[in-house]
Amino acid sequence: MRKLENKVAIVTGAASGLGKAITLLYTAEGAKVVAADINEKALNDLKTEIERKGGKITAVVTNTANANDIENMVNQAVRAYGTVDILVNNAGIMDDFSPVGDVKDELWDRVMAVNLNGPYKAMRAVLKIMLEKKYGVIVNIASIGGLQGARAGVAYTASKHAIIGLTKNTGYIYARSGIRCNAIAPGAMDTNIGTAIDYTKLSTLVNERIMPGMSLNPRSSNPSEVANIALFLASDDASFINGAVIVADGGWSAY
């Protein structure tokens, strides 16, 4: 039997990178996936690919910084499949490596809206469903930037630290209600999250304090390597793992 047979999962940021890898793996393992992403074309391409393979998917264009979009995403899952068993909060954006003395309010607010407020509101929405049936799994995609202080700028770093706190609090509080909440903290990954960063424009302070540590990274992961962890955490194989943060960084943070 496949690991997620007949489970209903919501995956945000599903149309590319890690979200796409998770969606492909979940559907291959029997899940019915509500794939949410802001990129409609990429989302439709993913839907076509999965349906061609016989998987079950509902595509929902979603801006996770928008509370109405999150509500619609969850409602679409219930309309299409009757419930929600698994939520994967994967959608996220990078900052521009600005330290606290330089970060602009607009960037701070945008990063927090996507990386923190979106997952929190999605969790709150699905918890109503999960508590009623006393079962549910939440997987939050954090980062080693949520465990360390120099993998990004202050906005991204703060948002991922907050996601880890959100994960631990939720996992502990609802542990007796049949709900598990865990996080994955990837290191560098071959995705498009950092493509908008102009590394030639980083400040002298950032180049002196952050960039030297980047050279210690053993390698970047393929999204499928981290997706395997998301599958494990969502499955019954991880039934006694709750409130935990699984680091997947190839040993980068072990230094």
Q: Return the active site residues.
A: 156
d(CA 187, CA 201): 23
Provide φ and ψ at 160, rounded to 5°. -80, -30
- 143: CB partners within 8 A, 6+ apart: 92, 151, 152, 156, 160, 185, 186, 187
Element (H, E) at 211: helix 211-214
66: burial class by Cβ within 10 Å (0-12, 13-18, 19+)?
middle
- Which tokens sit at 137? 């799994």
201: burial class by Cβ within 10 Å (0-12, 13-18, 19+)?
exposed
d(CA 159, CA 206): 19
d(CA 102, CA 154): 9
